Amino acid sequence: MEATDKTHTVDDTVDRLRSGAHSTVDKVANATTQAAEALGQKSEQLKNVEQQFLENCRGYIHKNPAASLGIAVGAGFLLSRLMSSR
């Protein structure tokens, strides 16, 4: 085998490796982008659920002030008991 044949073979191998590396990087970048988009959508959904939950709580407190006060007092009592036992 001549030197030019070996150089040509090495160049072809390097080109294939380079092409494979670029392809892999592109796939990883695409997967990362898709994951980031999915996380952004889930984050938005969680914000909407949180906002709806807070609105529901406000509505319940407005409709049932005595029960809400009882729940708050009970929760405060339980939290103080849990914190004092430590």
User: pLDDT per residue over 48-61, tens digit each?
Assistant: 999 999 999 999 99
Ramachandran angles phi, psi of 2, nearest 5°: -80, 165
Q: What is the pLDDT of residue 1?
A: 52
Q: What is the pLDDT of residue 61?
A: 94
Please report, for the chain, the start and end positions of each structural domain, with discontinuous segments joined by +. Answer: 3-84
Low-confidence ranges of the chain (pLDDT < 50): none
Q: What is the pLDDT of residue 9?
A: 85
Dump the DSSP string for the chain: --HHHHHHHHHHHHHHHHHHHHHHHHHHHHHHHHHHHHHHHHHHHHHHHHHHHHHHHHHHHHH-HHHHHHHHHHHHHHHHHHHHT-
Q: Crossing angle for the helix pair 65-84 and 3-63, nearest 10 degrees?
A: 120
Q: What is the pLDDT of residue 64?
A: 95
Q: What is the pLDDT of residue 67?
A: 95
pTM for the whole structure: 0.53
